[in-house]
């Protein structure tokens, strides 16, 4: 099961405060990802999700809000939704190779931006700890 990211600060922050980041989007050379699209791609990075409802709960998203994001990602060839052989009512969600490339490209872009911001902070470790506490 997917857990809150331990990667870039903005991943951890947006997963905890998604509503506050709803206008975030990234345009990398590999494509475009809204904040919710990036969170979904990141959640699926380590393996498929068993069901859309499970994914929604894991990323703290309303199921009804998640469906259009999944539809868009599938239409763009970034995720696959396959019937679960054990229960045909359930859809298994997974990244395509293109979805993995976009997730990695956006993550690299985010990390670069974080480095610019964090370079101005004298006690980075304390700052990151504080953000972790706020997003827990």
* In the chain, % of residues over pLDDT 90: 43
pLDDT tens-digit series, residues 22-44: 444 555 445 678 899 999 999 99
Whole-model pTM above 0.75? no
Q: Which structural domains are found in the chain, ordered by start?
A: 9-135 (1.10.10.10)
How many percent of the chain have pLDDT more than 70? Answer: 77
pLDDT above 80 for 10: no
Task: Find, among 125, 120, 109, 105, the residue nearest to 10 by Cα.
Answer: 109
Nearest by Cα to 40 from 101, 112, 94: 94
CA–CA separation, 117 and 128 (whole Å) = 12
Q: Give the H/E segment covering residue 111.
A: helix 97-118
Q: What is the pLDDT of residue 26?
A: 55
């Amino acid at each position: 099961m997917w857990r809150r990211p331990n990667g870039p600060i903005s991943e951890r922050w947006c997963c905890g405060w998604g509503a506050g980041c709803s206008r975030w989007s990234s345009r990398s050379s590999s494509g475009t990802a809204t904040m919710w699209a990036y969170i979904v791609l990141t959640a699926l990075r380590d393996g498929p999700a068993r069901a859309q409802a499970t994914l929604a709960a894991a990323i703290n998203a309303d199921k009804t809000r998640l469906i259009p994001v999944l539809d868009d990602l599938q239409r763009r060839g970034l995720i696959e939704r396959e019937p679960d052989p054990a229960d045909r009512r359930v859809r298994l969600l997974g990244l395509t190779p293109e979805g993995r490339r976009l997730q990695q490209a956006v993550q690299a872009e985010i990390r670069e931006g974080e480095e610019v911001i964090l370079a101005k902070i004298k006690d980075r470790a304390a700052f990151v700890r504080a953000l972790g506490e706020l997003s827990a």
